[in-house]
Amino acid sequence: MTQPPSNSHRRQFLQHAGLLTAGIGLATAHTAGWARTGNAPIARTRSGRIAGQTEGGIHVFRGIPYGADTAPRRFQPALQESAWSGVRDALAYGPAAPQAGNEGPGSEDCLYLNVWTPALRDGGKRPVLFYIHGGAYNNGSGSDPLYDGGNLCRRGDVVVVTVNHRLNLFGYLHLAQLGGPALADSGNVGQLDLVQALHWVRQHAAEFGGDADNITVFGQSGGGAKIATLMAMPAANGLFHRAWTMSGQQVTAAGPRAATQRARLVLEHFKLGDADALRQLPMQQLLEAVKLRDPSRVESTGLYVGPVLDARNLPAHPFWPQAPAQSAAIPMVIGNTHDETRAFLGNDPANHTLSWEALPARLEAQQYVDLLPTVVIAEYRRLYPHYTPSEIFFAATTAGRSWRGAIEELEARARQGAPTWAYQLDWYDRGGDAAHLRAFHTLDIPLVFHNLQQPGSRTGSGLEAQRVADTMSDALLAFARHGDPNHPGLPHWEPYALDRRQTLQFDASSHLGDDPRGGERRLYAQAPFIQRGTF
């Protein structure tokens, strides 16, 4: 999984959009400045009725609770939300999970989801698309403007759901070996929140015009990694029926020893001898610990947290040594962008003007696979003799720290004989202000959502961008409806197999390629792949 050092680009457009939800309590019309209209759509949920609004012919319900406030049960599985009387307004996004940065500080009362649907209670049996946000396991929320589900609803007659869940220390701090029985699930409660949300969606699919037996989970970056983890969690078995991941892989989880070592660092930081005492710390004080230095040399942005091999909720690594057996029948799409690391290394002007002399040290610091930089550089110069030092830097860091995980998952699924399709996004807006970033990490989000003009999109809105968005979003919709991403606007997209490694390359003119970047794949296969945070 690509885990950028910061989500500055995502936070920037959230800030511009005025959608930061820190400090918000219940999602009410007053907090959003919206008022319920007399003909507001009303939906019935297990805990009470909710009122949404209609936007461009689509019914939208924001800030629907699917679990109770997690503060009283910090580090524990959440309880169901409390019932209410009357009609509750579902007009504003719920608060984000506790987190640092511009999207924080958030709230421990964060278990909310959002629904876009063409109709209510009409027996429509529409595919349900459940989106899990990125931001590694540390930050983000389902209220990002790029995740607005209206255009997908209108384009494909589907139901779209986005979700908030616990993150960072609140969702993934493994205290099972340091505290009492109440903390046994602590390393994976963020994942258990997603399981709880999926149960809610299945329970209410018919109310929102959807099909409980046709749920597609899709997500980018950390969202894709969370999906890969769900595919190996017994508690998630049967809760979804297709999986589409974008630049997000989880081959191995954090081992219990490594996860406990990180938890000890948190206790030492607060000078606590008892893990249960962490449950009493003020939320913002506990958030300080996300900035602790991680014991792994490859973690430069704070303490790593992620799903834990706890022999309880996650009994096996998600995709090692094989793909999860429980998900073998689930169709899956695994995609990446061609220039992932330009998203977070491309904003440093020095990285665009590297000399051959400076390249080895810069590459050694940023490629996570442990190969001699001189070996890597020599092979890239052989494969791509026209590449500059900077082009080698961006290509090698992408292949050496993010794309490699996708290859691992694709190979595991191919060995399993599971229905799997691979894609690579090659297209970018050559004339736009982000042309120097090329096909960077997150560029596929507005394309699959068909949200080219939402705040934060850097696709532009020209005819070429529209054509690529049509192609990608229609592939997602076809996949959600039929379990196969092929549609008339695509060349035939063959499943991935080890003999040819078929990959759909999305571009101005999309085409199917066999083993694109095969030389880079073979180069990095010289070293074992180890997911960040495993040790």
Where in the sequence numbering do the catalytic residues fall?
221, 340, 441
Angle, in degrees to the nearest 10, between helices 359-366 and 389-398: 10
Distance, in Å, from the CA atom of 465 to the CA atom of 411, rounded to the nearest integer, reads: 31
Contact 363, 396 (CB under 8 A): yes
Nearest Cα to 184, choosing from 49, 66, 313?
313
Sheet containing 87-89: which strands, arranged edge to edge? Answer: 42-45, 48-51, 87-89
For residue 134, how far is the Cα from the chain centroid? 3
State how beta strands 159-163 and 126-132 pair.
parallel
Query: C-alpha dihedral over 473, 478, 479, 484, to 10 degrees?
Result: -130
Total Cβ atoms within 10 A of residue 524: 21
Contact 390, 352 (CB under 8 A): yes
Residues 6+ positions from 210 with CB-CB distance below 8 Å: 117, 124, 125, 126, 127, 128, 158, 159, 201
Total Cβ atoms within 10 A of residue 13: 17
For residue 470, how far is the Cα from the chain centroid? 22
Nearest Cα to 284, choosing from 43, 99, 139, 21?
99
Nearest Cα to 345, choosing from 318, 372, 369, 365?
365
Distance, in Å, from the CA atom of 378 to the CA atom of 431, rounded to the nearest integer, reads: 32
User: DSSP letters of 453-500?
Assistant: TSTT--S--SHHHHHHHHHHHHHHHHHHHHS----TTS---PPP-TTT
On the 0-12 / 13-18 / 19+ scale of CB atoms within 10 A, 81 is buried
Angle, in degrees to the nearest 10, between helices 373-383 and 389-398: 110
Token pair for residue 338?
Answer: 């061609």
Question: Between the CA of residue 56 and those of 59, 130, 153, 154, 451, what are the distances in Å?
Answer: 8, 21, 10, 9, 14
